[in-house]
Amino acid sequence: MSTKVVMEALSPTMEEGRLVEWKKQEGDAVAVGDVLAEVETDKAVMELVARAGGTLLKQVVQAGTTVPVSELVAVIGEPGEKVEAPVGRGDGQAAPAKKPAPKAEAAEEPPAAPPGGPAAAGNGPPAAAPRPAAAPAASRSAGRVKASPLARRMAAERGIDISAVAGSGPEGRVVARDVEGSRPAVAGAAAAVRAPAVRGPAGQPYQDVPLTQIRKTIARRLAQSIGPIPTFYLTTEVDMERAREAREALLEAGGEKVSLNDIVIKAVAMALRQHPVCNAWWQDDHIRYWNEVHVSMAVAMEEGLITPVIRHTDLKSLREIAAESRDLAGRARERKLAPEEYTGGTFSVSNLGMLDIDEFTAVINPPEAGIVAVGRMAERPVVHEGAVAIRRRMRLTMSCDHRMIDGATGARFLQTLKGMLENPLAMVY
């Protein structure tokens, strides 16, 4: 009895995945839990794991192929077992999926039935019995979405198509948290920091490069963001002398290296505590004001960006934030973040200062209410205590979702943030 291996939904928003590399070759012995292949999802490179043991009989797709979720990618079975020409979609690995009884339209299906069919088929005939002439229509077996009653109701209330939500429950069941998570998601923040090096052979006017999963997701998310979200921008310039002094004192004291960005993240978290109106999610029919502060930080990757979240940012020390942001950014660049590490933020910070940007506007990371774009710290002539002086200055631009934040509200938040950076003691006051 062979078992079909299908492309699994490995992230909450994944609709298709690119099979990067096979880790098991045809003929290899496979145990439950073995990594069969690496799959690039819309956000990370993750592992496709065997749900059944035996021998990898067939790799249905080549490495490099992009495969929709629940499409067949491989077959596992007994050594020597024959695999006939596959076979369209799988019915899910070893899942006791209820198969629709073959009906008239089954005649449109290819007549070749895969040998044995899926393991553990719920109500199929015994293996020895002759199978019906046609395999069950794949689209229909894949079309039945497993979801908890609550998840279905929430999806209906919010106008979410539940079949587009990836389930995190047993056998891919869509549960409440998946519906909640289907709105707050990933991208947002600043534009990609560094374009991938695209160099075609000389003489060609252009080169077509297929969209990667992450690029598709960014496009979809950002368009979604800039379209329906009425955004306005507030800019202020901050005197960074004291923050810099504080940082240098910390560096001299040794221990975790605290960056200016870490100080900004901490200040944002503490300012959000004072301005909970800005620490909110737009939920279509309501606004969710968060009592917890989880700051997302935009991290540039080789290609694209991701916003890992520092949970409970306001409760963490600068030292903890520094350690965590370094760890998250490092793993983000290696694309080793788990989905829960880059979802669930309540406010974002994006920093292009290290790339000599004086100031910029960042795109809101929905459903969050705002994002602060951090420019570079630069020495500028300013009037300080009645005389022109050279001071280190930094510009902050806050993008605000006007549905939640009004002009004065955002300005007051920014004022608090500025005050904290200009007098870092205010953070712990």
Positions marked catalytic: 402
CB 311, min distance to other proteins, A: 12
- Give whole-number Cα distances, 174 to 94, 249, 271, 284, 324, in Å: 18, 50, 36, 21, 31
Question: Does residue 312 interact with other proteins by CB under 8 A?
Answer: no
Q: How far is the CB of 275 from other proteins (least distance, A)?
A: 26
Interatomic CA distance for residues 255 and 123, integer angstroms: 62
Region binding other proteins by CB under 8 A among candidate stretches 39-47, 48-56, 169-177, 385-393: 169-177
Rounded CA-CA distance 252/166 in Å is 48
Does 88 sit near other proteins (CB under 8 A)?
no
* Three-state secondary structure of 151-171: HHHHHHHHCCCHHHCCCCCHH
For other proteins, which stretch binds (CB under 8 A), given 89-97, 173-181, 250-258, 304-312? 173-181
CB of 150 to other proteins, least distance (A): 4
Residues contacting 123, CB < 8 A, separation 6+: 98, 99
Should residue 149 be labelled a site residue for other proteins when binding is judged by CB under 8 A?
A: yes
Strand order in the sheet with 45-49: 45-49, 35-40, 16-22, 66-68
CB of 189 to other proteins, least distance (A): 26
Kindly tell me which residue out of 1, 35, 145, 176 binds other proteins, with binding defined by CB under 8 A: 176
Q: Does residue 152 touch other proteins according to CB under 8 A? A: yes
The first and second tokens of residue 106, run together, are 């089954």
Pick from 88, 169, 276, 419 the residue near other proteins by CB under 8 A: 169
Q: Is there a contact between 231 and 188 (Cβ–Cβ < 8 Å)?
A: no
Asked if 130 is part of the footprint of other proteins (rule: CB under 8 A), the reply reads no
* 3-class DSSP state of 133: coil
Instruction: State which of residues 175, 238, 271, 318 lies at the interface with other proteins (CB under 8 A).
Output: 175
Q: Pick between residue 156 and residue 211 the one whose CB is nearest to other proteins.
A: 156
Query: Residue 141: enclosing H or E segment and its boundaries?
Result: helix 138-143
Residue 161 in the binding site for other proteins (CB under 8 A):
no
Q: Which residues bind other proteins (CB under 8 A)?
A: 148-153, 168-170, 175-177, 340
